[in-house]
Every structure is written in C-alpha cells, then in structure tokens.
Amino acid sequence: MPIISTKGAFSAQGYGFGGNTGGPVGTKGIFALGGTPGASTTRNKYTFATCTSTSAASASAASYYGSAAGNSTRGIFALGYVCGVTSTTRNKYTYACCSSTASGVGAASAASYRGSAAGNSTRGIFTLGVVAGGASTIRNKYTYACCSSTASGVGAASCGSQFGSAAGNSTRGIFALGSVCGVASTIRNKYTYACCSSTATGVGSASASSYGGSAAGNSTRGIFALGVASGAVSTIRNKYTYACCSSTASGVGAASCGSQFGSAAGNSTRGIFALGSVAGVGPSTIRNKYTYACCTSTASGVGAASCASYYGSAASNGTCGVNV
C-alpha cells in the first residue's frame, strides 16, 4: 500500500505498494514460514529484483497461524499459535539490518491466532481471528512510531471470523473475513485508517465463498487468493479495485496449483504468493509471482521457500511516490 507523496504502506498478510509515478519500490519481502509442518521460527527474505530467496532473522518463538503488516522500515509479525498456546506475542522485523525482536513491541490485546492484517505507513490493523476459543470481531491498531497497540477506538469486523486475508493502500484496508461462524463467506470489510471505521456496506464481495486465502496489492488494486473456495482447494484469485470498491475474478491470473493457507507480500509492481498447502501434496515450497500491470501469474523463476510450509505470514518494505 502506498501513500500520498510520502513513504508507502506495506504488506499484511500480504500486499504491496504503489507509486507508478516515481519513488523507490520495495526491495524485499519477509516470509514467516509457519508450520513446516510443526511450528517453526524460520523466516525467508525474498528479493523482488532478482526473484531469489534466502534465510532471514528467526522469529522469537516457534509459531504458526500468524499475520503481519508493516511499513518501509519494519514488519510487525503477530506470531499466533506459540508452543501449543494462543499468544499475544508480536515481533518487530527491521529490514535494514535483517534483525528481529519481541522486546518493546506492543502485544495483541488478547491471545489469538488465525487473524489477518493490513496497514499504511503509520499503522497496522490486525484482525485477531480466534480469541478465547471463538472467532472474534476484535481488531488492534498498531502504531509503528511508538510500537504501541490498542483495541480501543478501532473499528470492529462486521462479524466474528477467522482464516481471513487483507490488503490495502494508504487510505484503506480491505479485509476478506474468511470463515464466519464456521462457514466460508464472501464478506469483505473496508477499514478506513483516517477515522478507524469499518464497514461491509458497498464493499465488493469475493467471487465465491472462501477462507484460508492470502492477499497482496499495490496502490490501485489488491489481489486475493481465495484458498478454499466453494468447498474445494482452488486456484482462484480476485482483483479488488480500491477506487470503486469493486471485485472480479475475470481476467485475473490464477495460482499455478490449487492451494490454501498461504501468505503473500509485494511491492508496487508484483505480489509474491507462497502457496502454502497444495492440493494432493500438502505443505509446499512453491511461490508464484503475480504481475499487477498485466494480471499474469507464474511459478517459473520464482525463488522457492527454504522448506515446505503453510499457515505462514508475510510483510514487505514497499514504498511509493504518489498514489490515488
């Protein structure tokens, strides 16, 4: 996600940043691999320019079912499920030195997992997912400047949900709620950063009921991989256009294979999707490169994960010049 005439916004459970008219683009995406298949501390650094991937600073604890958002300098990772217990732990990953710490990082307002996140250059919005054993509507606002987090005054989700995904630009985040009351849904919420409000009204729905997806985008659009759609692991992606709050599956590059519980991050030109669990295979190392300009997708020449995994999360250091 970008931002108007300044630094851009970053990836949540995945997305990128815009700025077709100048300004540096994001150089790296950080992927927390999640389940390998057991909980892990492994992270990979994906370099957009060369489509290569290498190891990165580890998480503070083995975990999976997390979420992430960040800005041009740092990524904030909610670890999710840690040592068999839902947690409030978040890590701050600093891109410049590839370091990571849990020290001094605002914790979640409640122990949770299976959430999602999106943000802009100043804040990240985290949907907590499962809290105290049930799907919740709780969201937290994480402020990068002071590493603080609060649930106070933050627009709640329109209904309790889990296994969602999110992407956005400098003004809004689009949250695909995922599983609502145990049922896959088409519901998306628009979260407006300026007033911390959220609504499901007038927001383009998913093309099919789904959960377990991932998302990445730039300043004009968000690309949502639906995950499990209409009861089956799918290759379907939707293109969500922020300007008109519309969504379509038409003309959108499909995943290279059916998958679920992946993660995504990107910059102003491309989104990198870690497919997660692939139909008939299980946890995989496969990543796809989605090019926004032509809505195409490929697995060819894309740096693979360091090991097979799923239930991960990702953030990137995308920046931009000017956006809508």
Task: Specify the pLDDT at position 20.
Answer: 31
What's the average model confidence in pLDDT over 238-266? 98
pLDDT more than 70, % of the chain: 90
**What are the pLDDT digits (tens) for 274-293?**
999 999 999 999 999 999 99
3-class secondary-structure state, position 164 = coil
Class of the 28-316 domain? mainly beta
State the Cα–Cα distance between residues 182 and 164, nearest whole angstrom. Answer: 12
Q: Taking the model in full, what pTM does it have?
A: 0.92
**What are the pLDDT digits (tens) for 27-64?**
999 999 999 999 999 999 999 999 999 999 999 999 99
Task: Specify the pLDDT at position 158.
Answer: 98
One-letter amino acid identity for 149? S
Please answer whether residues 271 and 14 qualify as being in contact, where contact means their C-beta atoms are separated by less than 8 angstroms: yes
Task: Specify the pLDDT at position 320.
Answer: 36
Banded pLDDT at 265 (limits 50, 70, 90): very high
State the Cα–Cα distance between residues 154 and 146, nearest whole angstrom. Answer: 17
User: Is the confidence at residue 298, as pLDDT, over 60?
Assistant: yes
Neighbours of 148 (CB within 10 A): 14
Banded pLDDT at 306 (limits 50, 70, 90): very high
What's the average model confidence in pLDDT over 101-130? 98
Residues, the chain? 324
Task: Specify the pLDDT at position 10.
Answer: 34
Banded pLDDT at 5 (limits 50, 70, 90): very low
**What are the pLDDT digits (tens) for 16-28?**
333 332 335 789 9
Task: Specify the pLDDT at position 318.
Answer: 77
Strands 259-260 and 277-278: antiparallel
Task: Specify the pLDDT at position 128.
Answer: 98
One-letter amino acid identity for 117? A
Beta strands in 177-312 (DSSP E): 179-180, 183-184, 188-192, 197-199, 210-211, 214-217, 221-225, 228-229, 232-233, 237-241, 246-248, 259-260, 263-266, 270-274, 277-278, 282-283, 287-291, 296-298
C-alpha distances out from residue 85 to 109, 113, 323, Å: 15, 9, 41
What residue segments make up the domains of the chain, in order of their start?
A: 28-316
State the Cα–Cα distance between residues 260 and 274, nearest whole angstrom. Answer: 10
User: Is the confidence at residue 186, as pLDDT, over 60?
Assistant: yes
Q: What is the mean pLDDT of the chain?
A: 91
Task: Specify the pLDDT at position 216.
Answer: 97
Rg (CA), the chain: 17
Residues 6+ apart with CB under 8 A from 31: 43, 44, 46, 53, 263, 265, 274, 305, 312, 313, 314
